[in-house]
């Protein structure tokens, strides 16, 4: 495998003082592999939305690597988003991951007129207000977004996000390379030239991978689920198996010519470092 393979790493704002204290050391280990950029989630997994900016600043301070905030628009106002965009621009940010965000679990009241409902509106707003200053990444769902009416409607909505001005897309996690290749082929046929970067979730536990895949509607192949179930009480063996499965997925994707890989680190260095080492990618 080529060491020149590009990749990026995703973090979330730490939710506990212990998590915050651990972050600089984790960042140093991850930065040493030479990622293209770090991205920092916004409001995901119940995290504090203000934490994104702080984590972003920690990344820049501790590593000097480019950092990209995720920005979600659901339930927000143009004024609030405009203020955040200005804050990021002033801080030197050049890249944004633009998302709708998950609908709140509590009773949701539709946003008032003039506010945002879908990610394509956020992309258009960023382009209107900041021209080409930001590189804009959006989310893509090779196995369909779980709330979509059907896979073709979801694809049509994805196309609208790109037409609104997205430069690239990062996919939801998946364990079936064909889902990615089929999605990419559909993009080519539809004249979409934006880079489609696979989102890679390392496998580090049986219960958490069942939860992650169920939440986002990704297929966990039966043979993987059965092996993980069998190995769930033998952590070292489960980690070996998980690394082997995900490294094989990445190898297939790299051979298929992916522009980059985006690793969901879950704020841990080891799972991503194990994958980089198995793949022979990144600085060592
Ligand atoms: P959209 O592209 O707006 O799509 C949402 C749904 O609406 C889809 O079902 C789509 O088919 C449908 N749709 C889109 N446009 C229209 C339209 N015009 N009319 C009717 N239906 C439409 N969540 C967070 O809260 N914080 C994060 O930091 C975060 N980071 C993420 C990073 C990645 C790489 C990915 C893949 C997901 C991330 N998410 C995050 C989760 C994401 O917010 C959810 O999946 C969310 O439910 C959809 O966001 P989206 O930007 O894909 O929405």
Ligand 1 site, residue 232, Cβ cutoff 6 A? no
CA distance 204 to 200: 12
Question: Quick check: CB of 172 below 6 Å from ligand 1?
Answer: yes
| 59 phi, psi to nearest 5 deg | -60, -50
Q: Report CA-CA distances (Å) from 100 to 30, 97, 230, 279.
A: 28, 10, 37, 33
Question: 44 pLDDT band (50/70/90 cuts)?
Answer: low
* 202 close to 275: Cβ distance less than 8 angstroms: yes
The b/e string for 55-92 (b: 16+ C-beta within 10 A; e otherwise) is bbebbbeebebbbbbbbbbbbbebeebeebbeebeeee
Ligand 1 pocket residue status of 41, Cβ below 6 Å = yes
Nearest-CA residue for ligand 1 atom 11 is 154
Please state, in angstroms and rounded to a whole number, the distance separating the CA atoms of residues 123 and 128: 9
Q: How far apart are CA 53 and CA 88, in angstroms?
A: 8
- 99 C-alpha to center of ligand 1: Å? 5
User: 254 alpha carbon to ligand 1 midpoint, in Å?
Assistant: 26
Candidates 278, 279, 277; CA nearest to 32 is: 277
Does the pLDDT at position 114 exceed 50? Answer: no
Residue closest by Cα to atom 9 of ligand 1 = 148
137 belongs to the catalytic site:
no
Please give the distance, rounded to the nearest whole angstrom, from the Cα atom of residue 95 to the centre of ligand 1. 18
What domains are defined for the chain? Answer: 7-279 (3.20.20.220)
Helix (H) or strand (E) holding 274: helix 270-279
Structure tokens at 187: 């993009």
Instruction: Tell me which residue has its CA closest to atom 28 in ligand 1.
Output: 41
What φ, ψ does residue 256 adopt, rounded to 5°?
A: -80, 5
CA distances from 7 to 39, 199, 218, 262, 273 (A): 11, 10, 22, 6, 12
- What's residue 50's pLDDT? 85
Which atom of ligand 1 is least distant from the CA of 172? 36
Judged against a pLDDT cut of 70, whether residue 113 lies above it is answered with: no
The CA–CA distances, whole Å, from 75 to 37, 41, 103, 130, 225 equal: 28, 17, 8, 21, 36
DSSP 8-state assignment for residue 46: G
pLDDT in tens, 100-110: 998 765 444 55
Other CB atoms within a 10 A radius of the CB of residue 176 amount to: 16
Q: What is the pLDDT of residues 142-177, one digit of tens each?
A: 999 999 999 999 999 999 999 999 999 999 999 999
Confidence at residue 283, expressed as pLDDT on a 0 to 100 scale:
79
Q: Whose CA is nearest to atom 49 of ligand 1?
A: 100
Residues 6+ apart with CB under 8 A from 231: 206, 237, 238, 241
Q: What pLDDT score does 97 carry?
A: 98
Instruction: Verify whether ligand 1 is closer than 6 Å to residue 121 (CB atom).
Output: no
Q: What is the mean pLDDT of the chain?
A: 93
CA distance 15 to 47: 6
Q: CA-CA distance, 233 to 212, in Å (whole number)?
A: 19
Nearest to 99 by CA among 116, 79, 82: 116
């Amino acid at each position: 495998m080529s060491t020149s393979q590009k990749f990026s790493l995703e973090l979330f704002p730490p939710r506990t003082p212990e998590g915050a204290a651990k972050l600089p050391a984790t960042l140093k280990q991850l930065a040493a592999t030479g990622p293209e950029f770090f991205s920092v989630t916004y409001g995901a997994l119940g995290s504090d939305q203000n934490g994104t900016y702080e984590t972003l600043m920690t990344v820049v301070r501790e590593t000097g690597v480019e950092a990209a905030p995720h920005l979600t628009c659901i339930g927000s106002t143009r004024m609030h988003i405009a203020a955040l965009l200005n804050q990021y621009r002033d801080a030197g940010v050049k890249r944004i991951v633009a998302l709708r965000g998950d609908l709140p679990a509590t009773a949701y009241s539709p946003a008032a007129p003039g506010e945002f409902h879908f990610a394509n509106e956020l992309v258009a707003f960023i382009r209107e207000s900041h021209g080409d200053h930001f590189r804009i990444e959006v989310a893509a769902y090779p196995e369909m977004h779980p709330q979509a009416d059907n896979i073709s409607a979801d694809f049509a909505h994805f196309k609208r996000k790109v037409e609104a001005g997205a430069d690239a897309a990062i996919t939801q996690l998946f364990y079936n390379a064909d889902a990615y290749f089929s999605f990419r082929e559909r993009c080519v046929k539809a004249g979409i030239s934006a880079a489609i970067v696979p989102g890679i979730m390392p496998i580090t536990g049986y219960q958490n991978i069942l939860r992650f895949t169920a939440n986002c509607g990704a297929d966990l192949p039966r043979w993987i689920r059965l092996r993980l179930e069998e190995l769930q009480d033998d952590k070292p063996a489960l980690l070996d198996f998980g690394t082997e499965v995900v490294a094989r997925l990445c190898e297939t994707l790299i051979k298929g010519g992916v522009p980059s890989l985006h690793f969901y680190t879950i704020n841990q260095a080891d799972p991503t470092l194990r994958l980089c080492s198995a793949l022979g990618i990144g600085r060592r």
